[in-house]
Structure 1
Amino acid sequence: MGKMLNFFRECGAELRKVVWPSRDDVVASVKVVIFTTIIIAVILGGLDLLFSTLYRLVF
């Protein structure tokens, strides 16, 4: 039981050392992720359309 209690104390001590990002940092990161996801989706959609069209032309 003592090891488990010590574990939770150490976890709490480590969490107090964490430098959490500000709300503005999180919002900026989310915007970058959403923008990048949309761009990649458009590129992959375009490639899929291109390859499916080429496939139909060949076969």
Structure 2
Amino acid sequence: MVQKYQSPVRVYKYPFELIMAAYERRFPTCPLIPMFVGSDTVNEFKSEDGAIHVIERRCK
């Protein structure tokens, strides 16, 4: 019988977007992370006061 694997839920001290931006700068062309090889910006929203900044991306 094969055991089912359940990946652990990761809790970061910093916002997820900041973590992903750090990975993107550290490993800009890593083939093991296809999301960082290239992406297109689908939608970008920034609130007037700058408190909220949402970027939707699509992987190439």
Q: Which has the higher strand share?
A: 2
State the TM bucket, normalised to the shorter chain: under 0.3
Q: Which of the pair has more CA radius of gyration?
A: 1
Q: TM-score, normalised by structure 2?
A: 0.28
Q: TM-score, normalised by structure 1?
A: 0.28
Between 1 and 2, higher relative CO (CA 8 Å, sep ≥ 6) is seen in 2
